[in-house]
């Protein structure tokens, strides 16, 4: 980067910060996770930052699961080598565990939706490989009854935030949830797969044929939900289906 570009970046980031301070009524920025006062808006304090595991290379070329040691750029993990999936590539920003739970679940509570702005930037950065050459972001849909209770879909909120961070267009409501699925919380992998089977469909009049799409969701545990979305999208003719997740649960040590 040359000096003038550096200066322009510096100036624009400072102008943004000043603009933000005016909008926020010059309240000191607070850590997104614990609320402690920090120097920069939309960020974490040092303690929360250190507690949360952010995924970075070396990682599985297919699913983005972290490797303990560099394995080569195209190396894939054991799970990806052993399973057939409908999606092509997946990335997640951080590990879903006791350190990140509060931060991630904040998205589901109406008073903390400002965290989506930071999450969108993180997902845009970590998901760069998956987002390259993508036409559409497809948020995992909620059933309308649940949408009615919660007033917004947290996956759609994330997709909009990724878009705002420079990502592709959002195909809001192109994919719909046909039936309300029971909560997956206590189900094992096989039960989760049965639970979501047939739950999604393409909205009448929408055409995914030839489109390169990325499915967006907040949390991934067994991956049954995104697998079912990807299956429906591939069947609808999508040219490629990526997956971009905020927080992914990993088996201990895995």
* Binding residues for Zn ion (CB under 5 A): 31, 33-34, 36, 45, 48, 60, 62-63, 65, 77, 80
Kindly state the smallest distance separating residue 78's Cβ from Zn ion, in Å: 8
Q: How many Å apart are CA 95 and CA 93, to the nearest integer? A: 7
Kindly state the smallest distance separating residue 42's Cβ from Zn ion, in Å: 13
Task: Rank residues 126 and 181 by Cβ distance to Zn ion and give the closer one.
Answer: 126
Q: SS3 of 242, please?
A: strand
Task: Rank residues 164 and 222 by Cβ distance to Zn ion and give the closer one.
Answer: 222
Kindly state the smallest distance separating residue 239's Cβ from Zn ion, in Å: 22
Task: Rank residues 60 and 107 by Cβ distance to Zn ion and give the closer one.
Answer: 60
Prior bond to 58 cis, omega within 30? yes
Q: Which long-range contacts (CB under 8 A, 24 or more apart) does 24-28 make?
A: none
Kindly state the smallest distance separating residue 211's Cβ from Zn ion, in Å: 24
Select from 49, 40, 52, 46 the least CA-distant residue to 13: 40
Task: Rank residues 77 and 142 by Cβ distance to Zn ion and give the closer one.
Answer: 77
Q: Where are the beta strands (DSSP E) in 97-235?
A: 136-139, 169-170, 175-177, 200-202, 212-220
């Amino acid at each position: 980067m040359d000096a003038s570009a550096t200066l322009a970046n510096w100036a624009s980031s400072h102008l943004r910060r000043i603009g933000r301070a005016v909008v926020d009524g010059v309240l000191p920025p607070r850590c997104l996770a614990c609320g402690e006062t920090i120097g920069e808006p939309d960020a974490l304090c040092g303690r929360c930052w250190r507690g949360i595991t952010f995924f970075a290379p070396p990682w599985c070329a297919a699913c983005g699961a972290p490797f303990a040691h560099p394995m080569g750029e195209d190396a894939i993990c054991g799970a990806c080598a052993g399973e057939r999936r409908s999606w092509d590539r997946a990335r997640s920003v951080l590990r879903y565990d006791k350190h990140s739970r509060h931060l991630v679940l904040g998205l589901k509570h109406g008073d903390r939706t400002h965290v989506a702005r930071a999450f969108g930037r993180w997902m845009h950065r970590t998901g760069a490989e998956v987002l390259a050459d993508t036409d559409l972001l497809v948020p995992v849909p909620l059933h309308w009854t649940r949408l009615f209770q919660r007033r917004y879909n947290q996956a759609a909120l994330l997709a909009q935030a990724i878009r705002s961070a420079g990502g592709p267009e959002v195909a809001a409501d192109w994919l719909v949830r046909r039936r309300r699925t029971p909560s997956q919380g206590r189900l094992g992998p096989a039960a989760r797969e049965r639970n979501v089977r047939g739950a999604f469909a393409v909205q009448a009049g929408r055409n995914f044929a030839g489109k390169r799409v990325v499915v967006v969701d907040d949390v991934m545990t067994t991956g049954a939900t995104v697998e079912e979305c990807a299956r429906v999208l591939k069947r609808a003719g999508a040219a490629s289906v990526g997956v971009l997740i905020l927080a992914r649960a990993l088996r201990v040590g895995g």
